[in-house]
Every structure is written in structure tokens, then in C-alpha cells.
Amino acid sequence: MIMGETKPYEPKIAAFLCNWCSYAGADLAGVGRFQYPATIRTIRVPCSGRINPLYILKAMANGADGVLVSGCHPGDCHYMSGNYVARRKFALIDSLLKHVGLEEGRVNFSWVSAAEGVRFAEVVKGVTERVAALGPNTGVFKVDGGGTDE
Amino acid sequence: MSQSKIGAVLIVGAGIAGIQSALDLAESGYLVHLVEESSAIGGTMPMLDKTFPTNDCSMCILSPKLVECGRHLNIRIYTNSQVVKTEGEAGNFKVTIKQKARYIDTEKCTGCGSCASVCPVKVDDEFNQGIGKRKAVFKQYSQAFPNAFAIDDKNCLFQKHGTIKGKDVCKKCVEACQAGAIDHAMQDKEIDVEVGSMILNPGFKVFDASRLVYYGYGKIKSVVTSLEFERLLSASGPFDGHLVRPFDQKEPQKIAWIQCVGSRNAKINNNYCSGVCCMYAIKEAVIAKEHSHIPVDTTIFYMDMRTHGKDFEKYYDSAKNQHGVKFIRSRIYEVNEAEDGSGDSVIRYSTEDGQILSEQYDLVVLSVGLEAGDSSKELSKILDLKVNKFGFAELEPLTGVNTSKEGIFAAGVFSGPRDIPETVMQASAAASAVASLLSEERGTLVSEKQYPPELDVAGDVIRTGVFICHCGVNIGSIVDVPAVVEYAKTLPTVVMATEKIYACSQDAQASMKALIEEYKLNRVVVSSCSPRTHEPLFQETLKEAGLNAHLFDMANIRDQCSWVHMNEPEKATEKAKDLTRLAVVRASMQQPVKPVFMAMNHAALVIGGGIAGMTSALSLADQGYEVHLVEKDTTLGGVARRFSKGFRGEDMKAFVAELVESVNKHPNIKLHVGTQIKEVGGFLGSFTTTLDNGEQIAHGVALIMIGGQEYQPKEYLYGQDARVMTQLELDEALVSNDSRVDKAQNYVFVQCVGSRCEENPYCSRTCCTKSVKLALKVKTQNPAAKVFILYRDMRTYGYFEEDYELARRSGIIFVRFSENEKPVVTKEGETLVVTVKDHVLGCPIEIEADVICLAAAIVAPADGAKLSQWFKVPLNKEGFFLEAHMKLRPVDFSTDGVFMAGLAHSPKNTEEVIAQAKAAAGRAGVALSKEMVESAGLNAFVDKRKCTACGTCEAVCSAKAVSVDMVNRVAVVNDALCKGCGACASSCRCGAINLRGCTNQQIAAMLNTF
């Protein structure tokens, strides 16, 4: 927490949401008017299985303070098993991020269904608090033009 | 003289039933005339806040259907209209529609609302159930179709008084309307249409609670109806979803629901159960708790909790156990206003054990029942249809949808209370019945939408146009829309940006089309609401302007911005800018995508030869499609062969025999009995199924109707004493004069055996009625018999309530037991003794029984798991098939081309099975009517130069769409199978496989602008 008269620090968080569950859950949060901090910038993908771990690094390299990745609950995937593919990848990238010394809490994974508007708002609140507590992204990753954009 | 039939249909009533039937029929080649009494389509669903048991927002799930129906080229909508005359016969009706003047040209009206803002007349807003006011010129709700206002001539000053002393009394609306849409001289008109068939779904009215003075409705301000409460909860309601009492805006902390208001009431001749109120009351209680920022205490006063639908019991359990909703089994004496001046209500009631209590509540919600509407009764009269004593249309037995007149079908509450999924099922079933009747005329009167040739934009300089929507005040009152427009203009590739009040309105679409041409736009971005609901609408506009539908992206600055950052307008504006930028980046890199067309095999495979399977097979065969019916047993008929009578006294043996004969005789049906499925492959349009006998069937769609099973009781000495039998066994014993029943005097029926328990946490729906029917049969055969029914809640929903009443009048004794104190059956010598704790006396009673009949549960089919794997369709926890959407797609799977009906979906009675089977045939018929299978084409694609043929993509693909061509050593995507999830693209180690519409490059470019 930054003291004094400066405004509290507002992180910017890249949110990858699957179209069928988490994006729908985010819509539902809207329909229910469940308020949450205006910190996320959403990138809609068909399925959490679509999320290449490199996107997470890319987001961090481009100055996002945190990342939220969210898909259907295990078992609920619209494409049958995409979120299992995602889960395996996330487990690996999570251990890589730990290994290179990225603070825990910058990159967050959660499952939000299309019926969980309240939960979506809670997830964003939680992620925002965690990332805010860590302060701005200090730049473990730098933009290098490599990776996924060729 | 035989006249040729007409390939058009009249549908009366444009609620969810009318919309569903209209879409099914228009999509399968019939011209639809859709007649609606009010000024907009939608019916009751738009008034509801959430829907049980999924808590989906009602408006949100409906609105895509509204848009689709409203835009459909082959659906002609007549609002403010009624049927006044019909003549002719099945296949050939002449109908006169009277359309009341709207005084507003729907073609010109932009829905901007300027007229309403100047209109001086305020009247009670019917859409909000009289809470809040509307003007004399009004639109029912913001998403209404047509998106046009209407003048209510009973209240409009000019319409009432015209010109006095040469001066118009009021024409403020005319002055305010920039579009010149208002025409006070408009006249009512009569329109004649010719149709081959009719579907009637004029809906219902809710019970007028002021008829029962003891509930205080209309006198006590804190007593409201359940539909009023829906409006209080609704985000689009009179208090914007802020849960307050209408009269003093106090936030209620203690709310009570009173069930069966106007239902199950013989005194007012409403001796039927409305079937939906228990669930909607639970839903309202749960939502009220979720909705309010202060703790809310909720109590439901009820007689029997009737949660007999699919997944309803779980919803009830979670309301009780997780959400803390209180349930009090009681009788209500009266509701009075509290004497402390708080405006509260006091409920005086008696509990089950006879105590009389009073309790004060901030708000009392009356769960009002459903009644036949006045216009429904009028319609039945005009068409001379048979109606029952409650004024609902009487359907022909075991048809699901047939009225007493040939060629006229019914859906929804027109023929009796039912919930949304049942209504949707009936609507699709009615559409199926029409399609069977008019199959020769399919495609004769419809036209196909023509689009201008697609512009070739390859290699052109990217010119992006951005449209930022105010969504009335939904976005504009929080997000600084002009600032977002100015920001958008600074973004690369953007050549124009503008704002729209409602980007989705008809006029905005027209203007968007004009701007695309004027600015030679080749990419379009709309920042408005959710692409999940509105992307198809904007893409349609792109196509109309000659652009490929995929040169487009949306930013969701409403649901995911203005609505969720209401107190932070500056931050919301910043976020809206960022989201718009991301959409511009993605759109600018978007390439045209061509849809993929694949062959359609016009044959259907029906799995299961019970009533559901045979009904579906016949419907599809009558629609003109080839049907393969597979039944593993050697004879057709399924479990229904064991029924003697239907729930309305029908002779089931004769019915099944007739059905079997029709199936056997039908030239379009090929039977495969005594054989099972061994293997299934393929997808919509081209499935191949292999049978045990080696035979291979090629088909375009599959219908799973494998039925259910009777639970084999482990309790109550079943299997140890022959006098303990299941309902099916007792039914058979009563018919065959079995020795066990011949001399029996004491009968004890035990309900919920294997239902509503840990093993099967659902209600089997049919057993309460079945026990009542069997008990009555026992009483008829042997009036001296003593009959006891031991139950937890009597769930004789709908008209079965009358049987329940008759049973009580006939001296059948009902004893309630609780889940924790189930009856105990013991054997003392040769005597069977049932011990049960009586809920009134509070002490155990012992009954010596000659026959014990167990209401054994209906459990999921044994073969469900196999079929689930073969067709890639899900099962729920209990093993029943899980539909694509519990409310609006009750017979579809999310897997295209596979449908279901009957007990394999959930427990239900024969009449309901028939309706659902016809619905499945109707939905399958829509798919089969297409010449080709079209998919959007947002598929994976491979860069051969990069591919190393490692096979990772093949391993992760759950659709089995990617395979490695080992000869050329490259991965190949089957466009027909690819679902576009992108798991392969994110897993490829060399970046060789990518996803159209969501490429690695697009996402990277978006992230680069962070």
C-alpha cells in the first residue's frame, strides 16, 4: 500500500477468458451488476485450451502487472477436454514462473462457470488485491519481439 | 375435391413457444405468420428476472431468439393483432387477422424514445406489473422487437379527444419525433392469410390475487405477487434491480412467500396445481438473498413442495441447506397489516401439528398460479376447440400437441400450466406435427436471403470503422462515450468512429451499412454489449454491406465495463478505451473466413424402440425422411408394454399396439430389432453407425431415446416377500387378478422409494400420480379396501391434483413421513406390518398390510454411458442425458445433430414423453431439411512448412479433427470435425498450427499494445 496523498496503485491485468464459461460468467456479473475493480483487460478466446503459455509471458513482458486465466470448471468444457489441456499447461508454466522468481500471485488461474457471476466478480477482486499488494510489474520479462508474434 | 395443401403456418402468440415454433418451421422451409396481441414479441419471459434451475438471466437467454425471430426472412410478424375469423380445414385454412393501429410506423421508428419523453400521459406500466409508470406512447421493454414504440389509444390525449376548437389537444410526440414515424391517422386493418396449419400458444394470465381477500393483496402495500417480485428483482425493473418495497423503498430484510395462491383451490374452481410456483418461489428466495447487500431472511409457506422437474430437487436442497431458505409446511389463515405503522404484513398460519402462529414480514410475496387468459378463451371459441372446465384447451390424449381440431396444434400454457422447458418442448413438437402434415409443401413459399457479392478485401489498406454504443443509459451514463470515440479515431487503421444510442437498433444497422459504403470500411468494430448475444446481428449487417462477416470484432463495454464499474466512471472510460483498442487490433488482423459446407445425409437414426423412439421415428418418417429404428429387444414397445392405463385413462395396450403397427407399416422406417450398436463415427450430416449384426447405417442425425429403468428396491422387504411389489408389478397384478391382490383388504403405498435420497437425489415425477391412480383403481375394484398412501410431498402437479382430491374423498388415507423417519416394514409371523410416524398425531402408527406397493424410482438407462462416449454427449451425475440448455434447448445436445427424448432425459409421464419425442423429431427435422451442413469455418489450419508431424495436435484434439498424414509427414485438419477450440494451436511446439479468427499473431499484437 502506497502511503500519503498519492492515489492507491491500480494494477493492469490481462484476463484471458474462455468464451463459453468465464466470459459468460463475466457477462453474468454485469447482468447482476456485481461490482469489481476496473483492472482487467479481457482477451476472449474460444477455450482455455487455446491459451498458449507464451501469451502469459508476453503479457508480463508488455507491462501487464498481472494475468488472470479463466476457463470452464474441469468437466464442463464446451469442447470436452480443452480445459484439461489448459490445466496441464498452467501447472507447468506456474512452476516455470516460480523457478525464474516471479512473485506468486501475479499470474492467476481460476475456473468460473457461465452461471457464476458473483464468483467472477470475487475472482477479479481477489486477483486485483493480490497483484496490487505486489506493486507494479518490475519487469522480470522484457519485450524481445520473440515468442509468439514472430 | 382434394385441394393441395399450403406450405405456410399461422402461429398465434409470440411468447417463447411461438418464437420457438416459428423458428423451427421457418428454418425448415415453411412460411410463418406470427400473430401477437401486444406491441412486441417475447411474452412472459422478458418479465422474469432469472430462470430456475440454472439461474440464467431470462432476458439474456431469450434475446438472441428474439433477434433471430425478428430478423427471419420467412417469419412475418403481426403485432397488436388478433385472429378474428378462420375457415377451411387441415392443410388449407383461411385466416383473418385484425391488426390494431399502432399509430407508429415500425419501419421508420428508431426506438429513440423522444416521443415518450414528451408525452404528458402517465399510466401504470403493465410490463412492470403496475409498479411504476409508462407513457401513453411506450415500448414494453428495451430489447423489444419490433424496436419501435406504440401509442396506446385508450390513454393518448389526441386519440381520446382529437381536435378541440380547431386545435389539436396534444401532438407533442409528433413534434418530438425526428424520424417522422408517428401517424395518428393510422387505421386498424384486416389481413387475410392462407395457411396449411396453425399452432396456438397464446399463453396465460396470472391469478388475480385480490379475489382472495384473506391474503390482503391490493389492501396491504407490502403484499405483492410473484410476478411483481420478479420485476423488483430485475435489473431492468422499476428499481433497476435494487430490491426495495415499492411503496416506501425500504430494503426488505424479512420476506415470506405464500404458495398456491389461486392454485389447488377447489372453492374457486381452480383445483389444479400450477406446477411452476414452488420452483419460482425458491428461485426468488435464493436470488433475493444473493441480490441484496444486506442479509435477507426468507421463508416459504407451502402445502407440498413440488420440485418434480429435472434438477429441481437439487435446487430445493441447496436452497434449504446452502442458502438457508426456510420452508414451513402450513395453512395460511390470513395476512394482515402490522399495527406498528411499519407497513409490514403479519401472516397468521397453522403448522402441521396444529399450532397457530403469527409472524411479521417486511414483504409478503404471493405465489400466484396460472390461469387461462381471456384471449386464449376467445381464441378457443373462434376456432371451436374443446376446452376443459378450467378454460384451458383440451388436447387429444397421447398426442402431446393435438387440439380437438385436425391441423391445429397447441403449445405452452394454452393447454394447461407448464414451465419453460416443457413449453419449448411442446413448441418444437407442434412444429414437428405441422412439418409432418405439410411435408409435401416444404420449401414452396419461403424465400432465401440474398446478400450482395462479397467484396474482395485481400491486400487492401485496412480501413476500420468503430461504433461506440450508449445502450441508452446503460453505457452512456457511466462511460464517457464521446471520449472513447475520440480515442478510437487516434488508433491505427481507424478511418472513422462514431457513437450510437443503440447500436443494435434497426436504424443504427442501416446507418452502419451506409457508413461502411461511404468510408469504404473493410473492418468493423462495435463497442457495446456482449458478442455472445449480439455478434450475429452485427455480422449480418456486414454481410448485407458486402463484407465478410469475420472482418469484425466487438468490445464488451456494457456487461463487462459500465455495469460492473458503476461507481468509477473515469476508470470505466479508460477500460472502455482499452477494450476498444484491443478489438481494433484484433479486427485489423482479421481475414475473411469462408464457411465450410459439407454433405448432409437425410436419414435419421433413432435409438430405442419404446414410445419415445417410435413416436420420433413416425414423426420424422411422416416429414418425409428415411428413418432407421434400432431396438436391442426383440419387440418394440419398451416399458410401456407393462402399463395398463395412461394417466388420463387411455388404454395403453391398444395405444402401444397401434404405434407398433404404424411403425411396422411405414415405408420410410427401416427396423433393426434385436440388435445393438457396436460403433459410431462421424458428425452432423454424416454419421456411420455399425450394428452388432455387422450392418452399417449412414445417417445425418441421431436421436437417443433409450428410456429408463425401474429402480430395484433394496428396502421394505422387497424381493423377500411377494406381497411387496413395485407400481409396475401392482398394475400388472390388478389387471391379471393375481392371487396376491384378490383377497387383499389393506393396501399401503410407500412413496419416494429410491427417489429424493442420497443415491438418487431427484424426484421421479410420475410416482405420486401413479400411486393415486393405482389406489383409486383398488378402491374401484374393492370399495371396502383400506388404502394408505405414505408420502413425503404429494406431487400431483397440473390436473393430477383432481385425482389427489378424488382419492381423499374416496377415503384413501394419506400419511406424511419425513426423510429422516421413513416407514419401517416388518414381518410378524406371516403378517406384514408397516410402522410410520404420523405427522399430525406425532406418534408411530402400525398398519397391517396385505399388499405393499413401492413407488420405485425411475433411474437412468444402463446403456447411457456407452452412447455418451460414442456420440460425445454428456450425462448428468445421475446418468441421465444432459441437454444443451435446460431451459431453451431441452431436446438438443451441444453436439450438433444429436437429439434426445423420453426417460433417458429425465423421469416423465407418457404424455410428456410423446411431446418430447415429437420435439426431438422436430429439431432433428430442422437439421435434416438443410441441403448442406454449414459451419462458420473458424477452424484450425496448418502451415505445412513448419509442421514436424510430431502428433501433439492429434493427441490433444478431443474432436478427433486433426490427424497426422504419415506419408507427407504433416498434420491435417478435418474442417467438418474441427470445433475451433484451439487446443492444438496452443500446444504446437513449432507454431505450425493456428486458429482462424484467433491467431497467435492477433493475440500477440493485442498484448503488444498493453
Candidate from B561, B1000, B1010 with C-beta closest to A14: B1010
- Residue B872 at interface with chain A, using a CB cutoff of 8 Å: yes
Chain B hits for A121, Cβ within 8 Å:
564
What is the per-residue pLDDT for A7? 59
Instruction: Confirm if B289 and B296 have CB atoms less than 8 A apart.
Output: yes
Candidate from B54, B983, B1005 with C-beta closest to A47: B983
* pLDDT band at B201; cut points 50, 70, 90: very high
* Alpha-helical runs (H) found in A9-52: 22-31
What is B422-440 written as a DSSP string? HHHHHHHHHHHHHHHHTGG
Report the gap between the CA of B943 and the closest CA in chain A (Å): 14
Chain B residue with Cα closest to A125: B564
- Kind of pairing between the strands at B940-942 and B993-995: antiparallel
CB interface of B with A, residues 637-676, below 8 Å = none
Q: What is the mean pLDDT of residues B62-68?
A: 81
pLDDT digits (tens, 9 = 90+) for A12-64: 999 999 998 899 889 888 877 889 999 999 999 999 999 999 999 999 999 99
* pLDDT band at A6; cut points 50, 70, 90: low
Higher pLDDT among residues B53 and B777, named by residue: B777
Q: What is the mean pLDDT of residues B273-284?
A: 98
- Residue B969, pLDDT above cutoff 70: yes
ipTM: 0.93
What is the per-residue pLDDT for A9? 79
Interface test with B, best of A9, A21, A33 (most B CBs within 10 A): A33
- pTM for the whole structure: 0.85
What is the per-residue pLDDT for B653? 96
Q: Which grid coordinates are listed for B914?
A: 410423446
Residue B541 DSSP label: H
- Residue A148, pLDDT above cutoff 60: no
What is the per-residue pLDDT for B449? 84
* Alpha-helical runs (H) found in chain A: 22-31, 53-61, 82-100, 117-134
* Lookup result for grid cell 420457438: B20
Residue B973 backbone dihedrals phi, psi, to 5 degrees: -100, 130
Q: Give the gyration radius of chain B's Cα atoms.
A: 30
Higher pLDDT among residues B410 and B239, named by residue: B410
What is the per-residue pLDDT for B870? 87
Report the gap between the CA of A82 and the closest CA in chain B (Å): 6
Chain A hits for B981, Cβ within 8 Å:
46-47, 49-50, 78-79, 82
B1-100+188-203+373-450 and B711-857 share one CATH topology? yes
Candidate from A27, A82, A121 with C-beta closest to B981: A82
Residue of B926, B939, B928 lying closest to B68 (CA atoms): B926
* pLDDT band at A142; cut points 50, 70, 90: low
* pLDDT band at A147; cut points 50, 70, 90: very low
* pLDDT band at B22; cut points 50, 70, 90: very high
- Residue B921, pLDDT above cutoff 90: yes
Give the burial string for A37-62 (b: 16+ CB within 10 Å, else e).
bbbbbbbbbbbbbbbbbbbbbbbbbb
Chain B residue with Cα closest to A26: B560
Angstrom distance (rounded) from CA B464 to CA B581: 11
Top mean pLDDT of B239-253, B271-285, B950-964 is at B271-285
CB count in 10 Å sphere of residue B394: 17
Higher pLDDT among residues B142 and B403, named by residue: B403
Report the gap between the CA of B372 and the closest CA in chain A (Å): 32
* pLDDT band at B596; cut points 50, 70, 90: confident
pLDDT digits (tens, 9 = 90+) for B659-701: 999 999 999 999 999 999 999 988 889 999 999 999 999 999 9
What is the per-residue pLDDT for A32? 73
* pLDDT band at B391; cut points 50, 70, 90: very high
* pLDDT band at A113; cut points 50, 70, 90: confident
Top mean pLDDT of B101-110, B288-297, B419-428, B868-877 is at B419-428
Residue of B365, B357, B387 lying closest to B374 (CA atoms): B387
Q: What is the mean pLDDT of residues B69-84?
A: 95
Counts for chain B of helices (H) and strands (E), in that order: 25, 53
Instruction: Confirm if A126 and A39 have CB atoms less than 8 A apart.
Output: no
- Residue B339, pLDDT above cutoff 50: yes
Q: Which grid coordinates are listed for B143?
A: 430489447
- Residue A1, pLDDT above cutoff 50: no
The answer regarding whether domain B938-1008 maps to CATH 3.90.1150.10 reads no
Q: What is the mean pLDDT of residues B803-810?
A: 97
For residue A104, give every residue at least 6 positions away whose Cβ sits within 8 Å of its Cβ, in sequence order, or none.
Answer: A98
| DSSP reduced 3-state for B769 | helix
Q: Which of B144-148, B511-515, B1006-1010 shows the lowest mean pLDDT across its residues?
A: B144-148
CATH fit for domain B599-708+860-933, picks 3.30.1490.100, 3.50.50.60, 3.30.470.20, 3.40.30.10: 3.50.50.60
Q: Which grid coordinates are listed for B163?
A: 381536435
Instruction: Confirm if B631 and B609 have CB atoms less than 8 A apart.
Output: yes
Where exactly are the structural domains of chain B? 1-100+188-203+373-450, 102-186, 206-370, 464-588, 599-708+860-933, 711-857, 938-1008
CB pair distance less than 8 Å for B565 and A148: no
CB pair distance less than 8 Å for A26 and B291: no
Angstrom distance (rounded) from CA B962 to CA B975: 9
Interface test with A, best of B981, B994, B1002 (most A CBs within 10 A): B981
Candidate from B235, B290, B979 with C-beta closest to A31: B235
Chain B hits for A115, Cβ within 8 Å:
54-56
Residue B89 backbone dihedrals phi, psi, to 5 degrees: -140, 175
Instruction: Please give the CATH architecture assigned to the domain spanning A13-145.
Output: 3-Layer(aba) Sandwich (3.40)
For residue B453, give every residue at least 6 positions away whose Cβ sits within 8 Å of its Cβ, in sequence order, or none.
Answer: B546
Candidate from B531, B956, B1010 with C-beta closest to A85: B956
What is the per-residue pLDDT for B977? 81
Region B206-370: CATH code: 3.50.50.60
Mean pLDDT (chain B, rounded)? 94
pLDDT digits (tens, 9 = 90+) for B526-539: 999 888 878 988 99
What is the per-residue pLDDT for A144? 54
In Å, how far are B261, B338, B344, B640 from B223, measured between CA atoms? Answer: 12, 12, 9, 47
CB pair distance less than 8 Å for B1008 and A43: no
What is the per-residue pLDDT for A8? 67
What is the per-residue pLDDT for B480? 97
What is the per-residue pLDDT for B35? 98
Residue of B487, B480, B544 lying closest to B512 (CA atoms): B544
Kindly state which CATH superfamily the domain B711-857 is placed in.
Answer: FAD/NAD(P)-binding domain (3.50.50.60)
Q: What is the mean pLDDT of residues A79-95?
A: 89
- Residue B135, pLDDT above cutoff 80: yes
Chain B residue with Cα closest to A81: B958
CB pair distance less than 8 Å for A29 and B568: no
Q: Which of B224-233, B513-522, B884-893 shows the lowest mean pLDDT across its residues?
A: B884-893
* pLDDT band at A2; cut points 50, 70, 90: very low
What is the per-residue pLDDT for B934? 86
Cβ pairs bridging A and B (under 8 Å): 167
Domain at B1-100+188-203+373-450, CATH class: alpha beta
Angle at A84 between CA A78 and CA A90, to 5 degrees: 125
CB pair distance less than 8 Å for B564 and A29: yes
* pLDDT band at B3; cut points 50, 70, 90: low
Chain A hits for B235, Cβ within 8 Å:
31-33
* pLDDT band at A146; cut points 50, 70, 90: very low
Top mean pLDDT of B288-292, B549-553, B894-898 is at B549-553
Instruction: Confirm if B212 and B261 have CB atoms less than 8 A apart.
Output: yes
Q: What is the mean pLDDT of residues B917-936?
A: 94
